[in-house]
Amino acid sequence: MGDASKELQENRPIIYVTGFGPFDSHPVNASQIAVEKLVKQNLESDLGVKLVTEIVKVEYEYVKKTVPQRWKELKPKLVVHVGVSGMAETLTLEQLAHNHEYTRSDNCGCLPNQGSCCPDGDPVLKSGIRMDLISSKLNKMIHLKLSCAKSTDPGRFLCDFIYYLSLNEDRIRAAFIHVPPLSKFSAQDISASIAAAIKEMYAQVLELENEEQKEV
């Protein structure tokens, strides 16, 4: 990832997107490859934003340190985390994240303290972004190769964990997308669908911002 201060100096709203590196049965992580290809999806020119992408380690402590730091440095308008699921057949938009019951060891063989993301936090955090609306819109886009679905089960591993951390920072500006492995779809097709979802998410964030300003 580029220097945070340099990104801020460009004075454009920032969309921060992460993918995960290799783990277990995914020596090549589809989320990493698809996120790396987002630069070719014209998000910056189409939305008037600065796209910042980063591939994060599949480690609880690394994620717990990195995510709050990025929120502070970048002050992003939208944060979208992307992860792979071997069971996914679609682009899967996660609506919520869980705080407790993390029992699967990370790449370092470690677990989070007390098996929790934020021990004193709420059991579940829900994104203010309407994933059902985005799923409906994407499924009408005939140029996309992946269908899209909403989910409420991110899986109690690093995907769930990183999502909870971001929702704990800002529930209106955080989202998580599960993608299928590269054996099911090409990285280019996955990336195109992620970009379409990001555009819809960003539109919702701007709409929610406008509503909040009217209430002030």
Rg (CA), the chain: 16
Q: Is 178 a catalytic residue?
A: yes
Q: Which of 59, 81, 98, 159 is the catalytic position?
A: 159
| From 94, 98, 148, 200, active-site residue | 94
Tokens at residue 53, please?
Answer: 């992408």
Alpha-helix runs per DSSP H in the chain = 4-9, 30-36, 43-47, 60-74, 131-138, 158-169, 187-215
Alpha carbon 153 to its chain centroid, in Å, reads: 14
Residue 5: other Cβ atoms inside 10 A: 9
- Find, among 215, 186, 197, the residue nearest to 17 by Cα: 197
Three-class secondary structure of residue 154 per DSSP: coil
117 labelled catalytic: no
- Cα 35 from Cα 83, distance rounded (Å): 10
Q: Are 98 and 173 in contact (CB under 8 A)?
A: no
**What Cα–Cα distance (Å) separates residue 189 from each residue in 33, 147, 179, 181?**
11, 11, 11, 12
Instruction: Report the amino acid identity of residue 16.
Output: Y
Any catalytic annotation for residue 159?
yes
Q: Which of 26, 117, 178, 200 is an active site residue?
A: 178
Residues carrying an active site annotation? 94, 159, 178
